[in-house]
């Protein structure tokens, strides 16, 4: 059995929905389908999820949101009409939206999630309706009835363990099961969503729960590429990656798959196959437990802006037991997690997300570091990027770090920080954000030939 997830652009128009359904029907193994909300039809279009957020905001700021609701209904109407469906489904969708918009708004986050979830929920109903209209056996599955139970973290939920046992039962339902992505229910029965792009997570949870043979993730690109196509023109495609490689790449800005989507399938060893709805003939990218290293030590290069480093130095720091823990504890007290922490004998640098470290937080943390730890110096370096060079083959290859640093030096990119974990699956460089594109190009040329 395959679980197939389709992203927003694959469901943006009637033509796209027809493509999705013909892909589903071309393989009887495709028994469970997870859908996103309709996405952009063209470059400057607005995704249904973003329309729903606007709609919720209109109500929260005292408006009726009637116009916003009609705009969303029109998006579904355009699709339903193109699919030759009657007005029944549109009435269902309009009633659903009106019901949601009139719910209690005293908890804003709860209300926002209730609205956001409508995109996927109604899309799933529409796809099921279309499959039935063309004579196929299909059923819309409500996540509450199916038992997808999430933690009560609005906009950033995680699946609770019991979900997996509950969702196993999906296998017993007849026909193609159309499951809305992106949301589930808290143990108290409230609608809760994952973070943005979270339909990928729903697909992975379902695949793990039913022990699918493969989790297919259909999107609008042919494959994962070795570097960001916005920086490198026509970068090389990646046909196979390990979970660890994909995890490292998606951590640092590869947005093909949601960063959290690999966890459930990784634990159960279910392969993920990323494919293009608009070009099914293309081989796509497979994500697996292990792969043969055939294409050099480096699998991909990712780059993410928005970091800063806290640099602390103190003479004889290495002799002070618990120094690092105390600094990290101060960050913990501010709710900040650290990303990397390279150290020398008398200094440590802690790389964190810049958005979490504004000037007020900096002042509080620095006062504590100075007063409680009596350091010689503490300062922040802002506007940094993290470049991650990823590849399982690096562990067995001598000289990869040398090649990377030389390539960066040749392009006049100063390395502010370097870090390599024991797994050797990735090498991390902190550089000035202004150097990001130049650095990616330098590393691409070094490991994958001239761009």
Question: Which CB, 51 or 209, lies closer to ligand ASP?
Answer: 51
* Contact (Cβ atoms closer than 8 angstroms) between residue 23 and residue 14: no
Smallest separation (angstroms) from ligand ASP to the CB of 138: 21
Residues that bind ligand ASP (CB under 6 A): 8, 36-37, 47, 49, 119, 181-182, 196-200
Cβ nearer to ligand ASP, comparing 8 with 284:
8
Instruction: Identify how many contiguous H helices and E strands the chain contains and give both numbers.
Output: 15, 17
Distance from C-alpha of 430 to C-alpha of 423, rounded to nearest angstrom: 19
CB of 12 to ligand ASP, least distance (A): 11
State in angstroms the smallest separation of the CB of 296 from ligand ASP.
Answer: 33
C-beta separation of 394 from 427 below 8 A: yes
Q: How far is the CB of 205 from ligand ASP (least distance, A)?
A: 13
Q: What gap in Å lies between CA 73 and CA 100, rounded to an integer?
A: 13
Complex with ligand ASP: residue 41 or 47, whichever CB lies closer: 47
Closer to ligand ASP at the Cβ: 147 or 180? 180
Residue 382, H or E segment: strand 377-390
* Burial (CB count within 10 angstroms: exposed 0-12, middle 13-18, buried 19+), residue 229: exposed
Angstrom distances, CA of residue 349 to CA of 315, 318, 346, 387, 438: 15, 14, 11, 16, 24
CA dist., res. 272 & res. 241, Å (int):
10
Q: How far is the CB of 83 from ligand ASP (least distance, A)?
A: 20
Instruction: Kindly tell me which of 49 and 186 has the beta carbon lying closer to ligand ASP.
Output: 49
**Which of 429, 416, 208 has the alpha carbon at shortest distance from 301?**
429
Nearer of residues 244 and 275 to ligand ASP, judged by Cβ: 275
In degrees rounded to 5, what are phi and psi of residue 58? -60, -45
Q: How far is the CB of 293 from ligand ASP (least distance, A)?
A: 32
Closest distance to ligand ASP from the beta carbon of 255 (Å): 11
Which CB sits closer to ligand ASP, 143 or 197? 197
The answer to whether 426 and 390 have CB atoms below 8 angstroms apart is yes
Closest residue to ligand ASP using C-beta atoms: 199
């Amino acid at each position: 059995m395959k679980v197939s997830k389709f992203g927003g652009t694959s469901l943006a128009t009637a033509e796209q929905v027809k493509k999705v359904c013909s892909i589903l029907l071309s393989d009887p193994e495709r028994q469970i389908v997870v859908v996103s909300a309709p996405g952009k039809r063209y470059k400057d279009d607005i995704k249904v999820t973003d329309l729903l957020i606007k709609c919720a905001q209109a109500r929260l700021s005292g408006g009726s949101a009637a116009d916003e609701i009609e705009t969303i209904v029109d998006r579904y109407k355009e699709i339903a009409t193109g699919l030759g469906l009657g007005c029944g489904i549109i009435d269902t969708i309009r009633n659903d939206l009106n019901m949601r918009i009139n719910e209690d708004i005293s908890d804003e986050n709860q209300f926002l999630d209730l609205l956001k979830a409508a995109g996927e929920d109604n899309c799933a109903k529409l796809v099921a309706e279309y499959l039935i209209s063309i004579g196929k056996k299909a059923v819309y599955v409500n996540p509450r009835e199916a038992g997808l139970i999430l933690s009560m973290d609005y906009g950033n939920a995680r699946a609770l363990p019991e979900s997996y046992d509950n969702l196993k039962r999906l296998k017993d339902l007849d026909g193609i099961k159309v499951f809305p992505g992106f949301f589930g229910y808290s143990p108290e029965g409230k609608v809760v969503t994952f973070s943005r792009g979270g339909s990928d997570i729903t697909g992975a949870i379902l695949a793990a729960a039913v022990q699918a043979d493969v989790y297919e993730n259909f999107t609008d690109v042919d494959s994962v590429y070795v570097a960001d196509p916005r920086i490198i023109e026509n970068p090389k495609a990646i046909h196979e990656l390990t979970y660890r490689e994909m995890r490292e790449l998606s951590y640092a800005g590869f947005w093909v798959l949601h960063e959290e989507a690999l966890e459930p399938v990784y634990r159960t060893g279910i392969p993920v196959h990323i494919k293009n709805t608009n070009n099914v003939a293309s081989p796509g990218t497979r994500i697996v437990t292990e792969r043969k290293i055939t294409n050099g030590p480096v699998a991909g290069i990712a780059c993410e802006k928005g970091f800063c480093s806290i640099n602390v130095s103190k003479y004889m720091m290495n002799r002070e037991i618990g120094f690092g823990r105390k600094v990290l504890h101060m960050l913990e007290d501010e709710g900040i997690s650290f990303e990397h922490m390279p150290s020398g004998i008398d200094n440590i640098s802690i790389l964190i997300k810049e958005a979490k470290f504004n000037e007020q937080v900096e002042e509080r943390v620095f006062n504590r570091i100075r007063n409680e730890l009596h350091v010689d110096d503490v300062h922040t370096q802002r506007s940094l990027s993290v470049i991650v060079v990823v590849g399982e083959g690096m562990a067995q290859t001598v000289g990869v770090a040398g090649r990377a640093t030389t390539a960066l030096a040749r392009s006049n990119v100063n390395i502010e920080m370097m870090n390599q974990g024991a797994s050797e699956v990735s090498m991390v460089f902190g550089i000035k954000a202004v150097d990001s594109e130049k650095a990616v190009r330098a590393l691409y040329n070094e490991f994958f030939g001239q761009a």
